[in-house]
Amino acid sequence: MKKLINDPKNVVDESVAGFALAHADLVTLSTEPLFIARSDAPVSGKVGLVSGGGSGHEPLHAGFVGFGMLDAAVPGPVFTSPTPDPIIAATQAVDGGSGVLHIVKNYTGDVLNFETAADLAEAEGITVRTVIVDDDVAVKDSLYTAGRRGVAGTVLVEKIAGAAAERGDSLDEVAAVAEKVVAQVRSMGVALTPSVVPHAGEPSFTLADDEIEIGIGIHGEPGRAKISLEPADQIVDRLLEPILEDLPFASGDDVLLFVNGMGGTPQIELYILYRRAAEVLAERGITVTRSLVGNYVTALEMQGASLTVLKLDDELTTLWDAPVQTAALRWGR
């Protein structure tokens, strides 16, 4: 194993410190307890948005803190949920008087710890709503979840809910928009190689040189099947078919197509996947009106990708297009 680290125990602290230094115009860093917040937080009268989870998925979540998206992100240890204490502190730090929305990926540790933090924040007079993201169609349950996993669709929930909060929607309205995105977004991924957690020093699972895993999670948890490596177009077809059947998507739909890299896959390959996915959608009469391609929800250095499709309407399209200024997403401002 070769990694550009110092002590494995300090990976998250040192990485978050570097992130805060690199983006000091956008964010501020709290070290005790550890969280990243908007530099202008709290924004008076605006609903605050807090998300977080295990590290190793960068730029999720800290990379999405800023105008038009999250107000705070709480990083836990690699692939491990943060404890309630920093979640409570982040919630307090971004409460502008209109309540706080927690956006939580459906992993057992995240759900339990955010739930505990929400209860404690409510006891202190902060109104909290929680939205659980469970967009992965690959498996119903996994090593980490009861029900479907929350994966790349989380980015779309954070962006669209963030825009609703920025325009002045109430807490109930922002939560309703976030729930609408959760209801209309589906994802599925593939791994070509495993990732290596720094403190473990060895791959989190094994794949033969000619094997891939279909339906992989973002922590290396298993998917639907290990199969022999196939051409990219066939892999896209394997990922896209369950997505389209699940909602289901139909001819006449407008959608956002998101091709997400898992950390170790170059852009040249992601655009090959995008090309085929757009082709299949067009054949089904589904129109791609918005798109996103890149490494946004990663699993350390895993080679692989995920496809995400969000059914759009006028409201969601307007909110997606709204200005955003974060380290990882920025347009219109």
Report the pLDDT value the prediction gives residue 143, as an integer from 0 to 100. Answer: 64
Q: Is the peptide bond before 199 cis (omega within 30 degrees of 0)?
A: no
Report the pLDDT value the prediction gives residue 204, as an integer from 0 to 100. Answer: 79
Query: Global pTM?
Result: 0.97
Dihedral class, residue 96 (left if φ above 0, else alpha if ψ from -120 to 50, else beta): alpha
Q: Which of the residues 23, 57, 61, 102 is marked catalytic?
A: 57
The partner residues of 142 in beta bridges, in order of sequence, read none
Between CA 171 and CA 5 the distance in angstroms is: 40
Report the pLDDT value the prediction gives residue 142, as an integer from 0 to 100. Answer: 66
Report the pLDDT value the prediction gives residue 203, as an integer from 0 to 100. Answer: 83
Count Cβ atoms below 10 Å from residue 308 Cβ, excluding itself. Answer: 29
> What are the Cα distances from residue 79, in Å, to 42, 205, 300, 309?
28, 14, 9, 25
Dihedral class, residue 311 (left if φ above 0, else alpha if ψ from -120 to 50, else beta): beta
**Which of 46, 63, 288 shows the shortest CA–CA distance to 162?**
46
Q: Would residue 219 show up in a list of annotated catalytic residues for this protein? A: yes
Report the pLDDT value the prediction gives residue 165, as an integer from 0 to 100. Answer: 98
pLDDT digits (tens, 9 = 90+) for 274-301: 999 999 999 999 999 999 999 999 999 9
For the chain, residues with pLDDT lower than 70 are: 141-145
Q: What long-range pairs does 169-176 form, CB within 8 A, spacing at least 24?
A: 169/47, 170/47, 170/98, 171/47, 171/98, 171/99, 171/100, 171/101, 171/127, 171/129, 172/129, 174/47, 174/49, 174/101, 174/129, 175/101, 175/129, 175/131
Q: Which of the residues 23, 61, 102, 219 is marked catalytic?
A: 219
First to last CA, the chain: 42
Q: Would residue 57 show up in a list of annotated catalytic residues for this protein? A: yes
pLDDT digits (tens, 9 = 90+) for 230-271: 999 999 999 999 999 999 999 999 999 999 999 999 999 999
